[in-house]
Structure 1
Amino acid sequence: MKVSYQWLQEYLDLDVDPRDLAEKIARTSVDINDVYSLSDGLKKIVVGEVIECKNHPDSDHLHICQVDVGEEAPIQIVCGAPNVQAGKKVIVALHGARIADNQKIKRGKIRGVESNGMLCALQEIGFSDKIAPKDYEEGIYFLPNDSQNGDSVFKYLGMDDTIIDTDVTPNRGDMLSIYGNVNDIAAFYRLKPHFKELAVKEESAEKTADLVQTDIEDSQIAPTYKLRVIKGVQIADSPLWLQIRLWNSGIRPVNNVVDVTNYILLKYGQPLHSYDYDQLPAHNFGVRHANEGEEFVTLDGDEQKLKETDIVVTVNDQPVALAGTMGGQGTAVNDNTTTVALEAAIFDSVMVRKQARRLDLHSESSMRFERGINPATVETALNEAAEMIKELAGGTITAGIVTGSEAPAVDKSIKLSLTKVNHVLGTKLTMDQVEDIFDRLAFDYHQDSDDQLTVIAPARRWDISIAADLYEEIARIYGYDNLPSTLPTMTRNRGGLTPRQRFIRASRHDLEGMGLTQAISYSLTTVEKAKQFQITPLNEPMKLDFPMSSDHVATRMNIISGLLNDVAYNVARNVENVALYEQGRVFLPKGDERPEEQEHLAGAVTGQLVANSWNKKDQPVDFFQLKGIVERYMHNMGIAGQISFVPTTARPEMHPGRTADIKIDNELVGFIGQVHPQTAKEYKIPETYVFELNLEALLATPKIENEYTAISKYPSITRDIALLVDADVENATIVKAIKQKGGAFLKEVHLFDVYAGSHLPVGKKSLAYTLTYQDNNGTLTEEQVNSAFDKVTTFLKDKVDAEIR
């Protein structure tokens, strides 16, 4: 909230530098975004009076003005504003002045005519379009007729005020009002607030109940709902003092009725809404849930399609406002309004928050309804607003208030122990000091014993409900800086990582060592992407009720889709070689229960793993390179089970001929392969290879502990063997068979040649292997190696019907 220092001084005898006050608020109440004045960075901007205005001889839109700026003679200024005219007081930037965006004004000639300054619009001296009055959007601003020529404009426009921009936390909704800020500041400066309330004067014998009716059937939606009527109003601009109050608080002045409702909102934190009484379809007000699909046009001209979770204010069951959020276009106060129906209410904070978020209609009113409203000042705010409208717009206030519902302002009684206070805060406060703090906060209390105190938290502080809340109040008013610094009592425990943490950290280090770079993707994605690339396919993912964007509506059930988004991001920026991995959680729905969270590891590679070199040809990544990375990772992690790669065509997002399930002892733990060309096209990426592993399964599988064996000092013996086998026989089957019969001295099996084509029978292929034998305890003989080798050849003939070449 933008808090005016001068407005605070109306209710408090403040003699503190505004920046010191802001620092005190930050240490005691809420955070501070900024402390500034609208005049910061501006100079030599004064009041001027246009004495004469005539058309420029060489332009159809410029004017030559003689302007009195309090000097001996008027100065000449060329101005292009369409509304400039003689006899008006204007904002003048003199020669050498600094205006918005640090622009310097100099003398010069405009189409041959000398100009000694500039006549300014509000935007040109730092006002944003959001707060500048609409009446002056197309031209310069006119100052009051009683402003003195040559005086600085800052005091006339409230630009000499200091604004303290507070960042209010959700629990301190009371600080979204001048009333709440005054109460808090008075407490920590030991001041006595002197609030000024305007008493309502009902001068009409006509009863409000004869003009409007209301019946709130569901008091949960609208715990409080009240109406007043003001007849015979005349819509006009608000007086300048009121406009200054509003634009210094970041609100655009509109007219005298709307400006009063915004003024009361800022003063009391109580949103009000004004209706053009004569434009209402009827006069029986209600509040209800919207009908599914019901349409409503809001003040900004947008047509909203409502849901049952939304709440609306109705007249004759027709929506006239989104409750707590925004009014309707057809019933807004306009220049022709003569009778105003004024509404003050409290709406359910949760419903308003959800409605404002879903429709993206965040307003000053919804911000306050979301954080809470003081029930004790609803009627006070309504009465004061009615009286102000009568004073500024004329008219008469009808007799009485029509009440549809009313939540009582309930003060909370909380028992407090002095011993517990000192124990929690680490202080040695006396009962007199604690009572003094509650006196400063204007909380009633009574002492039950030497140690016990009963504190009455007023309704205006709805964030206080338990003793712990009072501990906080005591601490912040006493001063956080005054609390003693003590070290906590701790036991000494030996730190370290759990086995799970070590495994996950080792996984990251291992993949980084093989050339992959870590990526971190969003855990939220689209429903379509969440359902892709699952290790074990499931149905629908878990969806968010109120997603922030259409791209983040469901929790992910795979990591690959996020990595492919990262690949696409890099490829779109001409990064051709991308090798990424990510370790993170996926969320697997389990009906009405909490989703199962699994730790997964995934990788995505496109382009080349090894950069080009003068002595190496380009080698784009393929299935076998990525398979080698996965195999090396499994080996380094000490996976003890039998690892197998089983071809599959059951994954629609993967290439049917270049995809394999990864299994450990026949249990599915992941998959690897090329992204299907059609899927790659959808992601806008080139040929890309991916893998994903379920780390929960890897963590659960048995591990090989680190073993260290001495390198054999005895020579090894190799034997080569070439096999002619059917084309559908896999290398893994042959290697398994060789190891099964290779004997105790077989150390390694290496495939060094594959051939298929001419000179071989149809449906056959040739595979050549090198078998390495070595004994750690002695020198092998030819007889030992030949015997073991013969067993292998015999077994291969029987096992895979191989022909030894």
Structure 2
Amino acid sequence: MKISYKWLKDLIEITETPEEIGKLLTGTGLEVEGIEEIESIKGGLNGVVIGEVLTCEKHPEADRLKNTTVDVGLPEPLQIVCGAPNVAAGQKVIVATVGAVLHPTGSDQPLVLKRSKIRGALSEGMICAEDELGIGTSHDGILVLETDLPNGTPASEYFGMSSDYLIEIGLTPNRADAASHYGVARDLKAVLNRPVTLPSVAQFVPGNQSDIQVEVRNEEACPRYTGLTISGLTVAESPAWLKQRLQVIGIRSINNIVDVTNYICHELGQPLHAFDIDKITGKKVIVTTVPGNTPFVTLDGVERKISDGDLMICNAGTDGNPEPMCIAGVFGGLTSGVTNETTSIFLESAYFSPVWVRKTAQRFSLKTDSSFRFERGTDPSMPVFALKRAALLIQEVAGGTISSDIIDIYPNPIVDFRVEIKYRNIDRLIGKSLDKDLIKTILQSLDIQIENETDTTFTAIVPPYRVDVQREADVIEEILRIYGFGQVELSASMSSDFLSDFPVNDPEKLKLRVAELLVSNGFHEMINNSLTKPEFQATLGESLLGNPVKILNYLSEDLSVMRQTLLFSGLEVVAYNANRRQRDLKLFEFGKTYHHVNEKYVEKERLAVFLTGNFQQESWFEKSREVVFHDLAAFVNQVLTSLKIREVEKQEADKNIFKYGITLIANKKPVVSFGLLQTAVTKKLDVKASVFFADFDWEYLLKQYTAAVEYREVPKFPEVRRDLSVVVEKKITFEELRQIAYRTEKQLLRSVNVFDVYEGANLEGKKSYSISFILQDDQQTLTDKVIDKSMQKLIAAYEREFEAVIRK
């Protein structure tokens, strides 16, 4: 964003240099990326002075040239050959002396004045025309001045030239409030404790004609729409002061009306648009959407297809249907804008929804000064003031009369943001205790008012133009950036703080997450009765917690106790489906179990998972395959991973329930047991097929879950893999080998994996594990010497603990 230093000085008293202002703005978060001196006329007309033509005679060798002598304040007059038809003795003129550098209009190359001979006559400079000075386009003749200034006076003094400074700010997306000179001045007001003075609109006098009617049909997209009409104006070139102001910030002058709307946009941050009244069909402005694929030609001459999600400024149309004139807040139309023939205008000033403008601008890939501001959020209280300011400026530069009163459609005023603040949190987040009076002074300088103040809290009333200040942390950031980051001393030890609330885990959301995981893998959810047969649970005896909870007034013996496990109710579902030839099953249930323990009744939440039958169906390219243990293990691992349970220990599952299986332990407590059910268990329900079952302690899993994200830096140094073939007694499990490995090599060992197991006649009573070890050092690249040392430690541990034989 580009800011003019002189323009800024019109709004707030500034005695600081542009560089000092740049440092102040950067300190408030408006990072100044560059400061550049801008001359109103390129080159500053150095070496160009006022002169007086003393003599003017025809050149003897050229009919169109004249030899002149010109007094430029030097002891001797200059001899200059001039080809202008209007040069004459006695004239006051502009003279470029030898060595001056001019930048003619329309030329990219500078013109350096040198002493020369033209057709044999000496020429010691040039009497200049308007275009040769770079101040206009006319080349009809030399500039003839009406002035009493003495000869030799610098031309820059005659033209009232003065340099300005362009301050370029890298505006972050959240600071929409600073997208104008007024917005920047507000930050300086807070830092310098000086008032901001807006231009007066006291001279605004509205007319009483009703030239244009306005209807807003979409109040969501256009919460506020204002406008007025100006009649009898003359579209022409803008005055020099207006063109220079826009030129400094890189905006090309178009005409006096369009230039004023651009001027107000960059002064106040309020985009405006002017419509030619004669081109508003039906003398009615309608703010609405139009049917999709409606063609519309924008100012750049490109036809675009409007969607029904684009807000348009329309007229009444000739057939009763609104006819688009402008894409609201983004780009004007080719046929409704101001031209040299325009004599009356309807001037629009509105507040459009940032969401609507952003979507439209992205849809058409149009980024304009208007959309830049609207899509970030403008000040809803500014449209009327901006309208008055623009109307007075248009009267000043184009004449005319304000012929109507202001139309202001604002059915649902946008209210201030109310933010509850705790003084304690201000101190915590800033890292320094600030005086309460200082805090209030800073906030009030930012137009943030204070209500309901107590010793510990207050309510901050934030104006709606500060769309980025809606939370307690935002208000505290405002205090800090004005107080100054550099004024907060660094403590002896570094620390951080935060205001965010970390909500308690929602059990239902976590349950839904796991349920969706299982369903996406082909599982069906069950909901079973909590009452069951006593004989089912009696077969498991001490494997179940406590005693069964008996029903006093049960209706039948089959439903006389509360279930202590989800196992049997799930097997009943498996049996029911198998009896109806539905044998390939993936089932799960979230349910409660009930226990009578030490004279107390205990209720627990569990998750049960069942797999039986074929895991995959037969097809033309693959045979069917029955469920195996590792299919269930994969789903168990997915559930635990989704709940961020990673560090687990393993032990053998309860033999009363599982033919073979594993119990996983986290933080010294079992979280899940899974494996192949004992035939004695499945026969209780007449289930003949093999059934794999997993029983999760859902309550404990919820307690272990944390929403915090763990991050570990990507290692800089490579990992190394080494393999061993270890022969041990058949009873030794891989888990035992894994645990010994981690206990032996704690520094470098990253993972242990078994990739092959062999049992054969030549290994009677024993088996061979092929194990891979991943080694890595976070500080350096591992050498062969270090790797060999680690592997020897592992081999020695296996030989010592298990009498292992390492196969070469």
TM-score range, shorter chain: 0.5 to 0.7
Query: Structure 1 pair 81/346, CA: closer, same or farther in 2 (3 Å)?
Result: farther
Identity score, percent: 33
**What does residue 649 of structure 1 align with?**
none
CA distance in 2, matches of 1:427, 1:91: 63
SS class of match (2:301): coil
SS class of match (1:232): strand
Query: Structure 1 pair 90/278, CA: closer, same or farther in 2 (3 Å)?
Result: farther
**What does residue 109 of structure 1 align with?**
116
CA distance in 1, matches of 2:268, 2:364: 26
1:468-479 mapped onto 2 (5 Å cutoff) = 468-479=473-484
**What does residue 570 of structure 1 align with?**
none
SS class of match (1:453): strand
Letter in 2 for 1:385: A
- Confirm or deny: 8 A CA contact 1:386 1:397 kept in the other structure: yes
1:327 pairs with 2:328: no
Please state how far the C-alpha of 1:136 moved relative to its aligned partner: 3.0
CA distance in 2, matches of 1:53, 1:295: 63
Letter in 1 for 2:7: W
**What does residue 480 of structure 1 align with?**
485
- Confirm or deny: 8 A CA contact 1:50 1:65 kept in the other structure: no
**What does residue 393 of structure 1 align with?**
398
- Confirm or deny: 8 A CA contact 1:199 1:387 kept in the other structure: no
**What does residue 422 of structure 2 align with?**
417
Query: Structure 1 pair 91/484, CA: closer, same or farther in 2 (3 Å)?
Result: farther
CA distance in 1, matches of 2:355, 2:197: 34
**What does residue 641 of structure 2 align with?**
none
**Which of 205, 214, 222 is equivalent to 1:202?**
205
- Confirm or deny: 8 A CA contact 1:418 1:451 kept in the other structure: yes
Residues 696-724 of structure 1 show CA distances to partners (whole Å, capped at 9, x for unaligned) of xxxxxxx9951489xxxxxxxxxxxxxxx
**What does residue 296 of structure 2 align with?**
296
- Confirm or deny: 8 A CA contact 2:94 2:155 kept in the other structure: no
CA distance in 1, matches of 2:56, 2:340: 31
SS class of match (2:254): coil
CA distance in 2, matches of 1:21, 1:270: 24
**Which of 345, 350, 355 is equivalent to 2:355?**
350
Please state how far the C-alpha of 1:71 moved relative to its aligned partner: 6.0
Residues 428-461 of structure 1 show CA distances to partners (whole Å, capped at 9, x for unaligned) of 1121221121233232214621221222212332
Please state how far the C-alpha of 1:228 moved relative to its aligned partner: 0.3
Please state how far the C-alpha of 1:138 moved relative to its aligned partner: 8.3
CA distance in 2, matches of 1:273, 1:348: 16
CA distance in 2, matches of 1:402, 1:300: 29
Residues 736-755 of structure 1 show CA distances to partners (whole Å, capped at 9, x for unaligned) of xxxxxxx9xxxxxxxxxxxx
Residues 388-427 of structure 1 show CA distances to partners (whole Å, capped at 9, x for unaligned) of 2223322211231223445525222222111110011110
Comparing 222-231 and 400-409, the one that deviates more: 400-409
CA distance in 1, matches of 2:357, 2:400: 33
**What does residue 44 of structure 1 align with?**
46
SS class of match (1:388): helix
CA distance in 2, matches of 1:215, 1:189: 44
Number of aligned residue pairs: 489
Query: Structure 1 pair 468/147, CA: closer, same or farther in 2 (3 Å)?
Result: farther
**What does residue 137 of structure 2 align with?**
136
1:436-447 mapped onto 2 (5 Å cutoff) = 436-446=441-451
Please state how far the C-alpha of 1:203 moved relative to its aligned partner: 5.9
Please state how far the C-alpha of 1:220 moved relative to its aligned partner: 2.0
CA distance in 2, matches of 1:37, 1:386: 31
Query: Structure 1 pair 57/475, CA: closer, same or farther in 2 (3 Å)?
Result: farther
CA distance in 2, matches of 1:169, 1:388: 31
CA distance in 2, matches of 1:272, 1:143: 40
- Confirm or deny: 8 A CA contact 1:310 1:351 kept in the other structure: yes
- Confirm or deny: 8 A CA contact 1:222 1:405 kept in the other structure: no
Letter in 2 for 1:44: N
- Confirm or deny: 8 A CA contact 1:235 1:337 kept in the other structure: yes
Please state how far the C-alpha of 1:329 moved relative to its aligned partner: 2.2
**What does residue 187 of structure 1 align with?**
190
SS class of match (2:164): coil
**What does residue 722 of structure 2 align with?**
706
Please state how far the C-alpha of 1:97 moved relative to its aligned partner: 2.9
Query: Structure 1 pair 377/705, CA: closer, same or farther in 2 (3 Å)?
Result: closer
CA distance in 1, matches of 2:255, 2:18: 30
- Confirm or deny: 8 A CA contact 2:230 2:404 kept in the other structure: no
**Which of 361, 367, 373 is equivalent to 1:362?**
367
Please state how far the C-alpha of 1:7 moved relative to its aligned partner: 1.8
**What does residue 171 of structure 1 align with?**
174
Residues 159-191 of structure 1 show CA distances to partners (whole Å, capped at 9, x for unaligned) of 512221112111111211111111110111111
Unaligned runs of 5+ in 1: 491-702, 710-742, 744-805
Please state how far the C-alpha of 1:70 moved relative to its aligned partner: 6.3
- Confirm or deny: 8 A CA contact 1:154 1:160 kept in the other structure: no
> Structure 1 length as normaliser, TM-score?
0.54
Letter in 2 for 1:30: L
**What does residue 376 of structure 2 align with?**
371
Residues 21-76 of structure 1 show CA distances to partners (whole Å, capped at 9, x for unaligned) of 11221121312232011239756154657969999999999998987766688756
**What does residue 3 of structure 2 align with?**
3
SS class of match (1:344): strand
Letter in 2 for 1:10: D
Letter in 2 for 1:347: F
Residues 197-237 of structure 1 show CA distances to partners (whole Å, capped at 9, x for unaligned) of 22353364x42xx2111111111222221110011112233
1:301-700 mapped onto 2 (5 Å cutoff) = 301-316=301-316, 317-405=322-410, 408-446=413-451, 448-486=453-491, 487-489=493-495
Query: Structure 1 pair 140/346, CA: closer, same or farther in 2 (3 Å)?
Result: farther
Please state how far the C-alpha of 1:466 moved relative to its aligned partner: 1.3
CA distance in 2, matches of 1:444, 1:116: 68
Letter in 2 for 1:136: T
CA distance in 2, matches of 1:405, 1:418: 36
> Structure 2 length as normaliser, TM-score?
0.53
- Confirm or deny: 8 A CA contact 2:181 2:266 kept in the other structure: yes
Letter in 2 for 1:245: R
Unaligned runs of 5+ in 2: 317-321, 497-718, 726-761, 763-808
Please state how far the C-alpha of 1:356 moved relative to its aligned partner: 3.1
Please state how far the C-alpha of 1:306 moved relative to its aligned partner: 3.2
- Confirm or deny: 8 A CA contact 1:8 1:182 kept in the other structure: yes
Letter in 1 for 2:114: R
Query: Structure 1 pair 475/291, CA: closer, same or farther in 2 (3 Å)?
Result: same
Query: Structure 1 pair 65/176, CA: closer, same or farther in 2 (3 Å)?
Result: farther
- Confirm or deny: 8 A CA contact 1:200 1:386 kept in the other structure: no
Please state how far the C-alpha of 1:98 moved relative to its aligned partner: 4.3
CA distance in 2, matches of 1:315, 1:373: 25
CA distance in 2, matches of 1:326, 1:62: 51
Query: Structure 1 pair 220/64, CA: closer, same or farther in 2 (3 Å)?
Result: farther
**What does residue 220 of structure 1 align with?**
220
CA distance in 2, matches of 1:88, 1:277: 47
Residues 719-740 of structure 1 show CA distances to partners (whole Å, capped at 9, x for unaligned) of xxxxxxxxxxxxxxxxxxxxxx
Highest CA radius of gyration, 1 or 2? 2
Query: Structure 1 pair 62/452, CA: closer, same or farther in 2 (3 Å)?
Result: farther
**What does residue 17 of structure 1 align with?**
17
- Confirm or deny: 8 A CA contact 2:128 2:143 kept in the other structure: no
CA distance in 1, matches of 2:64, 2:176: 50
CA distance in 2, matches of 1:87, 1:403: 60
Query: Structure 1 pair 8/288, CA: closer, same or farther in 2 (3 Å)?
Result: same
Letter in 2 for 1:162: Y
Query: Structure 1 pair 333/278, CA: closer, same or farther in 2 (3 Å)?
Result: same
1:162 pairs with 2:178: no
Letter in 2 for 1:166: I
- Confirm or deny: 8 A CA contact 1:91 1:153 kept in the other structure: no
SS class of match (2:459): strand
**What does residue 255 of structure 1 align with?**
255
**What does residue 761 of structure 1 align with?**
none
